Amino acid sequence: MNKEKNAVIHALTAIFIWATIASVFKLTLKYFSPVLMIFYSSAISAVFIFFIAAAKKINVFKTGLKDILFSLFVGFLNPFIYYIILLNAYDLLPAQSAQSLNYTWGITLSIMSAVFLGHKLLKRDYFAIFICYTGVLVIITKGRPQLFEKKDISGIILALSSTIIWASYWIVNTKDKLIPEKRFFFNFLSASFYAFLYLIFTSTLDFNIKGFYGSLYIGIFEMGLSFLLWLSAMKLTQNASRISSMIYLSPVISLFIIKKFVGEKIMLTTIAGLFLIISGLIFQNYKRK
């Protein structure tokens, strides 16, 4: 099998994993609080990545103290704070809405890169922002803004705030010199430690086998394997733009999985809003190529 086929297989596998995550989040939240999910998932992911690194003959502990401390700080930002915000959004909103709103992180990253890194926003960027946030408006109003509930507003704020944390994480990560295996290991290790401290001080450390199974899936597949597969796909391919464009399949596939396993009725406004969000992202990225 040639490199290009391998790249496509790796990318599609990562995309399918990401497509399942909204459903797994929603189902696992029935048994675990967001912080419990972060504790178990991050710890599992750290162990998983440790063994992946060991298989590649990478000693994660053979790392400079400065790099370790930086990764521990970044781990507070993501996964710890990011997933606390995102999972609370999933707890308050339908999975289809939380997922769609979180998908605007690409636009948030463009805006924050302009503010903090001095990147110039072009006319196409402003138009893409307008399209994406029109999609957000369609999703959050459901065509009936007068029927807004307080929990909906809280969930919407959390979902959109998660995109700020995610974008901040990637901006800060531009200064991280570690290879992905080392970076992810220390990020997840620190997140599990922060979550453990919170659970101990609040006396909320608990265990549930169904919640653990969900956290096991999140830790191995969503937090660990998917990113390693995606990085592998990008290294193998000679056509990064084609591989990158495949990512837009993920939220679409996810809607079918949400309907099947979570039991949510997929609303037309979700489909319309998600279409606008994806259209805005594609327009922005297509014009750059």
pLDDT in tens, 42-69: 999 999 999 999 999 999 999 999 998 9
pLDDT surpasses 80 at 166: yes
pLDDT surpasses 80 at 76: yes
Rounded-to-10 torsion of CA 166, 170, 173, 179: 100
- % of the chain residues with pLDDT over 70: 95
**pLDDT attached to residue 146:** 58
Reported as a pLDDT band with limits 50, 70 and 90, residue 288 is low
Could you give the count of Cα atoms lying within 13 Å of 167 in the half-sphere of its Cβ? 22
**pLDDT attached to residue 238:** 83
**pLDDT attached to residue 118:** 86
Tens-digit pLDDT profile for residues 137-156:
889 887 676 556 666 889 99
* Cα angle value 203/209/215 (rounded, 5°): 80
pLDDT surpasses 70 at 169: yes
**pLDDT attached to residue 242:** 77
Q: Beta-strand (E) ranges in the chain?
A: none
**pLDDT attached to residue 96:** 95
> What would the two tokens of residue 37 be?
């999910």
The span from the CA of 223 to the CA of 192, in Å, is 12
Indicate the residue type of 179: I
pTM for this model (two decimals): 0.92
* 152 against 125, higher pLDDT: 125
**pLDDT attached to residue 176:** 77
pLDDT surpasses 60 at 231: yes
**pLDDT attached to residue 197:** 97
CB 10 within 8 A of CB 225: no
Indicate the residue type of 144: R
Nearest CA to 258 among 81, 15, 11, 25? 25
Mention every residue, 6+ apart, whose C-beta is less than 8 A from residue 92.
Answer: 151, 152, 154, 155, 158
**pLDDT attached to residue 241:** 75
Exposure string of 257-287, with b = 16+ CB inside 10 Å and e = fewer, is bbeeebebeebebbbebbebbbbbbebbbee
What value does the mean pLDDT of the chain take?
91
- Region 208-220: mean pLDDT is 98
pLDDT surpasses 60 at 264: yes
**pLDDT attached to residue 1:** 60
Peptide bond into 145 cis (omega under 30): no
- % of the chain residues with pLDDT over 90: 71
- Region 26-35: mean pLDDT is 97
pLDDT surpasses 90 at 98: yes
